[in-house]
Chains A and B, each alone.
Chain A
Amino acid sequence: MKEKFYLFRASEDYLSYYFESRSEERTIPKAEQFEKIGADIYNLAFGDLDESREINDLCVSNNQDMNRVLATVVRTALTFFETYPDRRVYFTGSSKARLRLYSAILAREFENWKPVFEVLGMQNGKLAPFEQSVNYEAFIIDRKSI
Chain B
Amino acid sequence: MKQKIGHLIDLSKVVVDPTLKSHANDPFVVRKVEEARRVLAPYLKELADKAK
Contacts and interface: CB of A to CB of B under 8 A. Distances in A.
Contacts of A145: 2-5
A141 to B, nearest CB: 12
Contacts of B11: 79, 82-83
Interface stretch (A6-14, A20-28, A64-72, A102-110): A6-14
Contacts of B18: 11-12
Q: Which 10 A-B pairs have the closest CB atoms?
A: A145-B2, A38-B44, A9-B17, A33-B23, A54-B26, A85-B4, A11-B20, A78-B8, A43-B36, A45-B29
A72 B51 CA distance: 33
Interface of A: 7-12, 14-18, 31-33, 35, 37-41, 43, 45, 47, 53-57, 75, 78-79, 81-83, 85-86, 90, 92, 115-116, 122, 125, 127, 138, 140, 143-146
A40 B15 contact: no
Size band of the B side of the interface? 35 or more
A143 B29 CA distance: 24
B26 A125 contact: no
Nearest to A8: B15
